[in-house]
Amino acid sequence: MTETIGTTASPAGGYTERPLLEIDGLTLEVPGAARPLLADVTLSVGPGEVVGLVGESGSGKSTTAKAALGLLPDEARATGSVRVDGTEVLELRGEELRHHRARTVAMIHQDPRAALNPVRRVGDFLTERLALAGLTDRGAARERAVELLAAVGLSAPERRVRQRPHELSGGMLQRVVIAGALALDPRLLLADEATSALDVTTQAEILDLLRRLRAEGDTGLLFITHDLHLAAAYCDRVLVMYAGRIVEHRSAERLFADPRHPYTRGLLECSPSLEGTSAGIRPIPGRPPSLADALRGCPFAPRCAAAEPACEEWTPRPVPLEAEPGAQASCRRLPEARTTETGLREGGTVKTRIPEDGLAEARLLESGATESVPPRRSHR
């Protein structure tokens, strides 16, 4: 099944307008690592959409989100592209990059205390953010700070602006940080484990708040979590990462109902459900590869109960899933993978669908493996 690619793309049942965030074939290499930090990462977030990015610790979720801010690891060599609201972030430098970080994208981290100066008042944090956005009149900024705190659901906002971080709970502080993000009226919000440190009730309140804000402002939200159950319940679409790669990309509903990658199935089986029951939890055996491990074939093969010897030779690539436009999983054992490979063997060079890349050429290499060839750019 085909779909229109470009400004009206609708990956895995998502948005229909131009994406706010478009990461296309992003590969990041750092000196001394045996494998890339990120390998061919492609994802997008549309206006008003919540997209989940899920994976174990070290899979590359934060590195992907930071790329949207133009924050790459020192000495990293990047290929591919990262566009926010149509601007190529990897080409921004100096003042343009500072402006981009201050105005277009806002990141909310797990620990709100790290974002707030412990000796400054909450109101100062907000008025400084508002000054970045051009509101330098002190009285007007003060008023706006109170409005922002009310908008994120803090009671008695006039009193809160005079308080210091230690006087507020973790949930209240996360609301302050979100208010700080909103002060800049960003098009894109990046929430990196933003609710992981909160109790379940506060977590639900903050998730509601984020959902309401992105709907009201038509803001896009990239929601990073290690909790696949939470992502499936909260997001429109979910991408699963393993060892720096996207291994599955589905609508949240389909992912939860019928996970196709063995790693996704393993994640669902090894995390407690939203109801909090831990019955039947089965941890995925083994550990994810470190950056010192050179990878060959499917990176999940050493931990995969369904792996065959040929998986260790298989070049990972997104395999489009039948009857689910834009959805893909990167597993050699999918029936869809066999179909495409047969086509390649017969045709030598064919056009194959790479979700969100549009039509990318897939070449048959001499070894018999396939290689997708999206448009590339190199940045340092």
* Structure letter (DSSP) for residue 302: G
55 binds ligand ATP (CB under 6 A): yes
Place of tokens 């210091």: 164
Residue 37 in contact with ligand ATP, rule: CB under 6 A: yes
60 binds ligand ATP (CB under 6 A): yes
Helix 170-183 × helix 122-132 angle, to 10°: 20
Cα separation of the two ends of the chain: 37
Tokens of 322: 């039948």
Question: How many Cβ atoms are within 10 Å of 173's Cβ, its own excluded?
Answer: 20
Of 219-258, binders to ligand ATP (CB under 6 A) are 226
> Does 58 sit near ligand ATP (CB under 6 A)?
yes
| Burial 145-166, CB ≥16 within 10 A → b, else e | bbebbebbbbeebeebbeeebe
- Of 15 and 242, which CB lies nearer to ligand ATP in the complex structure? 242
CB 180 within 8 A of CB 121: no
Compute the least distance from the CB of residue 189 to ligand ATP, in Å: 17
> Rounded to an integer, what distance in angstroms lies between the CA atom of residue 81 and that of residue 276?
39
Give the interface segment with ligand ATP, choosing from 60-68, 91-99, 257-265, 364-372 (CB under 6 A): 60-68
62 near ligand ATP (CB under 6 A): yes
Assess 71 for contact with ligand ATP (CB under 6 A): no
- Residue 277 binds to ligand ATP (criterion: CB under 6 A): no
Nearer CB in complex with ligand ATP: 55/297: 55
- Which tokens sit at 205? 């309140």
Considering only 2, 57, 277, 349, the residue that binds ligand ATP (CB under 6 A) is 57
Token pair, residue 28, equals 């990041």
Residue nearest to ligand ATP (CB): 73
Distance from C-alpha of 165 to C-alpha of 297, rounded to nearest angstrom: 49
Pick the binder of ligand ATP from 27, 63, 104, 203 (CB under 6 A): 63
Q: Does 73 bind ligand ATP (CB under 6 A)?
A: yes
Residue 284 DSSP code:
P
In the DSSP assignment, the letter for residue 84 is E
Stretch of 51-59, 173-181, 232-240, 313-321 contacting ligand ATP, by CB under 6 A: 51-59
Closest distance to ligand ATP from the beta carbon of 143 (Å): 37
Q: In this chain, which of 59, 127, 264, 328 binds ligand ATP, going by CB under 6 A?
A: 59
Task: Indicate whether 187 belongs to the interface with ligand ATP (CB under 6 A).
Answer: no
Q: Which stretch binds ligand ATP (CB under 6 A): 41-49, 56-64, 146-154, 162-170?
A: 56-64
Give yes or no for residue 291 binding ligand ATP (CB under 6 A): yes
Q: Would you tell me how many other CB atoms lie within 10 Å of the CB of residue 230?
A: 19
Beta bridge partners, 26, equal 41
- How would you class 331 by CB atoms within 10 Å of its CB: exposed for 0-12, middle for 13-18, buried for 19 or more? buried
Per this entry, what is the length of the chain? 380
Q: What is the C-alpha separation between 301 and 314, in angstroms, rounded?
A: 10
Query: Taking the complex as a whole, how short is the minimal distance between the CB of residue 29 and ligand ATP, in angstroms?
Result: 10
Number of residues that bind ligand ATP (CB under 6 A): 14
Please, which residue, 55 or 302, has the CB nearer to ligand ATP? 55
Stretches 52-60, 201-209, 339-347, 352-360: which one binds ligand ATP (CB under 6 A)? 52-60
Positions in the binding site for ligand ATP (CB under 6 A): 30, 37, 55, 57-63, 73-74, 226, 291
